[in-house]
Every structure is written in C-alpha cells, then in structure tokens.
Amino acid sequence: MLLVTMKATIATLLLLAAWRDVVSRIIPNRIPLLVAALGLALRSAAGTTPLLLSTATALLLFAALLLLVIRGWLGGGDAKLAAAIAIGLPPAVTWDFVNATVLAGGLLGLGYLAGPRFAPRLRPTGASRPAARILAIEARRLRRGGPLPYGVAIAVGGILILLAGS
C-alpha cells in the first residue's frame, strides 16, 4: 500500500510539474526535490547497491542533460526533473524512461509545429475560465514560436514508467 501511495504521489507531482511548465515555463525546485526524495525512499527499499546504482545513473543523466541546458536546448528545471525521476528507477529502466520521454517530446513537438496552423485564435470568454485563458496564452505562444514546455514530455515519460510497474 505504501508503494502505491508513493508512486501516486510521484505521479501527482509530475502532473503538477507539467502544469507549471505549461503555465509559466518554470518547474519549481521543490517538485524535483520531492520527486527525488520519494525516489530515494523507493530505491533504498531495494538495498544500498541498487540505491547507489540508481543515483549514479541519475547523475550521469543529469550531466548529459546539462549539456543540453548549456546549449539552450532544454531548461534547467527539465534536467532536474528528469534526473529526479531517474533516482527512483532501476538503471535499466532509466533507458525506458528516456525513450518514453523522447517519444512524448516528439509528439509534443509535432503538436507545437502543427498548432499555429490549426489552432484558432482563442480568446478567454471570462475571468472565470482559467483553462480557456491558459489555452489562449498557449495559442499565442504557438504563433510566436515560444519555447516548448518539455516538462510535459518528461512528466508523461515518468508516469508511463510508473504505470508500467517499475
């Protein structure tokens, strides 16, 4: 039961990270920190060696993603979130997470490429409709070629791996 609760909490945090990334293009530091803490707790149940291997794998992933951050191709919050997820995964499953994230990112990217062509010029219908307001802002970002909220793809990749039972 505790395992299910921890995984549900991680999934909720990932959804929150995705939401914040869409709304503000910022993933607050506390979200990856909480995901990492829960991941450490999950892996520590498997023993010291699995915990150390997962931590080393997460550090390697972070180092690789940091190169993308330096080039301006990825946000720092995205790199932190991906590494935080990897801490809670067995090293072999981390590759599955990366693949799921890349696939989700590709679909997200296609949506953003096609979006300006197909998205109508949305306008919120009132202050009581925050979802319509965010959709209108996103449509405007699409038209202006704004940054992709890759935290969404990272969250989808993480949730898919959690649902797969890793």
Beta carbons of 90 and 97 less than 8 angstroms apart: no
Q: Which two tokens stand for residue 119?
A: 């998205």
The predicted structure's pLDDT at residue 123: 56
Q: Which two tokens stand for residue 116?
A: 């300006």
Distance, in Å, from the CA atom of 166 to the CA atom of 160, rounded to the nearest integer, reads: 9
Beta carbons of 17 and 30 less than 8 angstroms apart: no
Q: Which residue, 156, 138, 123, 147, is CA-closest to 23?
A: 138
Which residue is listed with tokens 């989700």? 104
Q: What is the DSSP-derived secondary structure letter of residue 89?
A: S
Q: Which residues contact 107 (CB under 8 A, 6 or more apart)?
A: 153
The predicted structure's pLDDT at residue 120: 57
Beta carbons of 14 and 159 less than 8 angstroms apart: yes
**DSSP E strands, the chain:** none
Mean pLDDT, consecutive 10-residue stretches, the chain (166 aa), reads 90 97 94 97 93 97 98 95 97 97 94 68 57 72 82 97 84
Q: Which two tokens stand for residue 18?
A: 């995705």
The predicted structure's pLDDT at residue 26: 95
Distance, in Å, from the CA atom of 36 to the CA atom of 80, rounded to the nearest integer, reads: 9
Distance, in Å, from the CA atom of 66 to the CA atom of 4, rounded to the nearest integer, reads: 31
